[in-house]
Amino acid sequence: MKCPYCTPTIPFSILTSRMESNYDRGNTSLHTPYVFRQQGVMDLKPNLVYVFADQLRLSSCGFAGDSKAITPNIDRLATESLSFSNAISGHPVCAPYRATLFTGKYTTSTGMVINEIRMNPNHRSIAHVLHEHDYDTAYIGKWHLWANELGHHYEPRNSFIPPGEHRLGFDGFWAAYNFHHEYYNMYYHTDTEAKIPMEGYEPDGQTSMAIEQLKEKAAGQKPFAMFLSLGTPHDPWDISNVPPEYYEKFKDVEFSLPPNYLEHNDPYADNWAKLRPEERERITDWLKVYYAMTANLDWNVGRLMQAVDELGLRDNTIFIFTSDHGELFGAHGRKGKNIFYEEAVRIPFLLRWPGHVPQGGESDVCLNTCDIMPTLLSMLELPVPAEVEGMDLSPFAFGEKGEEPEAAFLQGTGATANWSDGHEWRALRSKRFTYAVYRADKKELLFDNIADPFQMNNLAECPDFEPVISGFRTMLEKKMNEIGDTFESCSWYREHWTEDRIILRTATLNPIK
């Protein structure tokens, strides 16, 4: 249940009497209902700390059962949080995920159908709502919604996001860059094109910066929302791209190819997902670096959690740890993400808010990326913009019942980062099944994720499952019609709405039969 002390209109006399009665009962789990400031009593709106990794899959976390993972801090966070065990990346690619996260809209509504195109600013984001309700914001790390050309990542024209509308309402502290994946001695921008050096290992420096921001925000007069976008454990998985002390933990660990590894490339894969012969030979070495990066990520999450607690922010702060998508490492004949398989779409999502959210609890509701914005705004008791397409799943965060999605709707609108046709797909992931269809040849796939967790048996070819397939076809067509998704080719978007991201709704829905 929500804590009653979070209502800022409660008279001061009632607040003090409630505080005294709580301490008389020895109740220290609820946050102190007021804090003295120089200018009076603090507004008790909760804070938000949203930490998201890049390319960390759920299955590589210790709390999810991976015995090789060294993630003690994330594991401890899981014992203090509600875990959404069916959290899904609705479009498992960097830019589409972020666009959906901030707007609560699906990819075909945000326009971020591939990486390395520029997000149109004419969308209301979570940051707009936060600022309109007197929140201070901070954004640190990778942005990935600005660059408008393939390549030349380090040029300021692609890495510097200027102040104003293209920051989508994040008008507070800003220390970010569009994207890069080398993590030593890199840089960030604030309000000019000047590259500000980030000495040492980037995730360490970014976390230290976030801790300093926490100190400033804790001493301020406003509630705050801080987003920390860390680049690891995204490739390249070279030994030189991770601190030696973390690689040492895994250099002698034996990793094997996944059970669903295929020696031939998936015919639907784009160039980012295809594995060259020399890459296949390196997969187990890549995994050592991936797990080393994750161990360092865990250390930084622990530092941030400790700062939140030591600054007295713990009980009035929603603390979230998650990831934008996963990674396949040869599963199904693919590397990378941008596909509906579990290794790409299943992500950790831990939500801690002591006294409000069940500690060590779990919800199996299908939490999609577009659901995060309306869910968080509702938890903060802030209005959800009317154009949001995701669902408010906040009742499940509070351990209550509510309207539940039948399945998460997933979109694959093209190649990872260029205008290449033939890779488009749509999918639904329920608690039990994954159903998917490719645009190119209408091939259908159905997996029972409980009986077949590595998705090795395509039940779409089994007549016994025709009723299940039929139900998913109907559900998918209904969902696509609801949001105006006409299942176009990747290049269609380049021709019709690359600039203004306004869908010209002249096409008809491609039949999924």
Catalytically active residues, by annotation: 94, 144
- DSSP for 95-141, please give it: HHHHHHHHH---HHHH---SSSSPPPS-S--HHHHHHHTT-EEEEEE
Q: How far apart are CA 373 and CA 279, in angstroms?
A: 37
Which is nearest to 267 in space by CA: 171, 369, 339?
339
The tokens describing 395, both together, are 């009742």
For 205-226, the DSSP string reads HHHHHHHHHHHHHHTSSS-EEE
Helices (H), 160-254: 202-218, 244-247
- Chain centre distance of CA 341: 16
Q: Are 259 and 456 in contact (CB under 8 A)?
A: yes
User: 501: left (phi > 0), else alpha (psi -120 to 50), else beta?
Assistant: left
* Residue 143 contacts residue 180 (beta carbons within 8 Å): no
276 Cβ contact list (under 8 Å, min separation 6): none
Please spell the DSSP secondary structure of 309-332, one letter per residue.
HHTT-GGGEEEEEEES----TTBT
For the chain, state the CA radius of gyration: 23
For 287, 288, 370, the CA distances from 293, given in Å and listed in that order, are 10, 9, 27
End-to-end CA distance of the chain: 45
Residue 13 Ramachandran class (φ > 0 left, ψ -120 to 50 alpha, else beta): alpha
Classify residue 91 by its DSSP letter: S
